[in-house]
Chain A
Amino acid sequence: AQKITQTQPGMFVQEKEAVTLDCTYDTSDQSYGLFWYKQPSSGEMIFLIYQGSYDEQNATEGRYSLNFQKARKSANLVISASQLGDSAMYFCAMRELNQGGKLIFGQGTELSVKP
């Protein structure tokens, strides 16, 4: 069963607007962590934001925020005030704490920011 689902293969957003990238996950564990990574065309994987399953508040890091809805098992990434440099692949990932440290990744969403 797929653990992480990103249903948007590609998205467009106008520069300076906000955009939401969807991520749903599947786990029976109570303790888990959710991550978002950015992969620009150069290929490196850049960590953006983390949400723990017990965190009561949504995580925020600068222009990135994570809309965590535990009951719906969703962990959407919100990017505010999009910039041209935000054009990249975005991956949602999950770590189940009883499975060690590995992250399981979704298929990714390609975001294109239009000027």
Chain B
Amino acid sequence: DSGVTQTPKHLITATGQRVTLRCSPRSGDLSVYWYQQSLDQGLQFLIQYYNGEERAKGNILERFSAQQFPDLHSELNLSSLELGDSALYFCASSPRNTGELFFGEGSRLTVL
């Protein structure tokens, strides 16, 4: 158990819908990262927050947004969903910008 909690574990929805994925980092970790893992694109970095502030942005679509709240949990919002958004979405945390990332178990999104 990495200490990073993601909900929901599985989510099935339809095209055009909007979903929110939630992540609770390890206790004390200030950095939260979101990754998307799909069969054709591999593990893609989406976005990073550090203590509530956006720190780095990767290949995140405009239809996607994220935020980190004062209690350090984070949410990833995915809207106008398309079939190609079906993927495993990971949240990871770390205490700072060095050291390993601790990953949650992921949220598997299926868009039908």
- Per a CB cutoff under 8 Å, which of B42, B56, B88 touches A102? B56
User: In the bound complex, how far is the Cα of B55 from the Cα of A45, in angstroms?
Assistant: 22
Contacts of B92 in A (CB 8 A): 45
Q: CB-CB contacts of B81-97 with A at 8 A, as 1s and 0s?
A: 00000001010101011
Asked if A81 is at the interface of the complex by the 8 Å CB criterion, the answer is: no
Contacts of B99 in A (CB 8 A): 50
Q: CB-CB contacts of A58-101 with B at 8 A, as 1s and 0s?
A: 00000000000000000000000000000000010001010111
Contact B102 A47 (CB under 8 A): yes
Q: CB-CB contacts of A14-37 with B at 8 A, as 1s and 0s?
A: 000000000000000000010101
- Per a CB cutoff under 8 Å, which of B42, B55, B96 touches A105? B42
Asked if A113 is at the interface of the complex by the 8 Å CB criterion, the answer is: no
Number of A-B contacts (CB under 8 A): 62
- Per a CB cutoff under 8 Å, which of A37, A50, A101, A105 touches B31? A101
Given A99-B56, A100-B55, A105-B43, do A35 and B98 touch, yes or no (CB 8 Å)? no
Contact B58 A102 (CB under 8 A): yes
Contact B98 A44 (CB under 8 A): no
Contacts of A103 in B (CB 8 A): 33, 45, 101
Distance in Å: Cβ of A17 to nearest Cβ of chain B: 27
Given A33-B98, A101-B97, do A45 and B90 touch, yes or no (CB 8 Å)? yes
Contacts of A43 in B (CB 8 A): 88, 105-106, 108
Distance in Å: Cβ of B101 to nearest Cβ of chain A: 6
Contacts of A100 in B (CB 8 A): 48, 50, 55-56, 97
Asked if B77 is at the interface of the complex by the 8 Å CB criterion, the answer is: no
18 examples of A-B residue contacts, CB within 8 angstroms: A37-B103, A44-B2, A44-B103, A45-B92, A45-B106, A47-B100, A50-B99, A100-B50, A100-B55, A101-B33, A101-B48, A101-B50, A101-B56, A102-B33, A102-B56, A103-B45, A105-B42, A105-B43
| A interface with B by C-beta (< 8 Å) | 33, 35, 37, 43-47, 50, 91, 95, 97, 99-108
